[in-house]
Amino acid sequence: MEIFAILDGVVLPYILDPNFERYLPVIPSGVHSVNFTWKAGENKHYYYDFDVLESFDSSILKDPVISIETKGKVPRKAKAKEVSLKRSSSRYGATAPGIAPTTVRMGSG
């Protein structure tokens, strides 16, 4: 499944929605990580700031961990990154991680 953050040079509004997680598919409980690929494109400069990285129920799922800095520049060429999802205990249940960028902006330089 592809979920676009930036399409044809435009940041899509749902990416900045505080309820961004509602747009994501359900991740089965046996999944321990999710990979995502992103790119700004040639001659494009995008910057991001993830300030929401939390579990909605930390007794089931630990806070997600991303394999990049929480603030930075979106790479110009496609690069794969990982979001690690670790269970807190043997307790089972349904919950979801909260992963939302508060800022995706176009800039210069």
41 is a domain residue? yes
Q: Give yes or no for residue 98 having a pLDDT over 70.
A: no
- pLDDT band for 101, please (50, 70, 90 cuts): low
Work out how many domains the chain is built from and give that number: 1
73 is a domain residue? yes
User: Would the pTM count as exceeding 0.75?
Assistant: no
Domain housing 86: 6-106
Considering only residues 27 and 66, tell me which one the structure prediction assigns the higher pLDDT.
66
Of the candidates 77, 66, 61, 74, the one whose C-alpha atom is nearest the C-alpha of residue 26 is 61
Residue-wise pLDDT tens digits, 13-57:
877 787 777 777 777 767 788 787 778 778 888 888 877 777 777
85 is a domain residue? yes
1 is a domain residue? no
The CATH number for 53's domain is 2.60.40.2170
- pLDDT band for 106, please (50, 70, 90 cuts): low
